[in-house]
Amino acid sequence: MGEFADRVAERLREELAARTDREWVTEHRVGRTPVDVASPGVPTLLVELEFRRADPANNPVKIARHVSEGTLEDVVLIQVFSEYYETVSGVSSKRENAVFVGELASESLDGFSYRALDMGFTPPKRGNDPPEGWQKAIEVLAEEIA
């Protein structure tokens, strides 16, 4: 996933830069935490791309903790979930837990906003080719974020 995840983050950064008047970077650091795509400024926009993470709830927890501690202010966290988190019966509990934590933090902390979005494709397993249409899905995602 490493190389493909990097390609997706870079493509999203490019698409967001083309659609907004903000500067966008990849691998932005918030303390020791790298964020996939970010736009520093007011507000700071942080985009976490969740491909197959075992515990996606950890990302909103870490960012909310930084806001709570005062090391980060006026933040919008956009957590983007791949179709890996969709199940036959709906959305996986991993995604539900992450969204619950993000929304709870958004309601509880001044200066923290949260939004969950869909990536629009299932990421490849290690060694497999990227899914068809992933570039178009990233364009759609960038439009939604912009």
Dihedral sign for Cα atoms in the order 94, 99, 100, 102: positive
Q: What is the tally of structural domains in the chain?
A: 1
Q: Which residues pair with 114 in a beta bridge?
A: 77
The domain of 57 spans: 2-145
Answer yes or no: are the C-beta atoms of 102 and 60 closer than 8 Å: yes
What is the domain-level CATH number for residue 125? 3.40.1350
In this prediction the pTM is: 0.94
| pLDDT by residue, tens only, the chain of 146 residues | 588 999 999 999 999 999 999 999 999 999 888 999 999 999 999 999 999 888 999 999 999 999 999 999 999 999 999 999 987 667 789 999 999 999 999 999 999 999 999 999 998 887 668 899 999 999 999 999 99
Report the largest interatomic distance among the alpha carbons of the chain, rounded to a whole angstrom. Answer: 43
Tokens of 92: 């996986």
User: How far is it, in rounded angstroms, from Cα 76 to Cα 93?
Assistant: 23
Those residues whose C-beta lies under 8 Å from the C-beta of residue 104, and which sit 6 or more positions away, are none
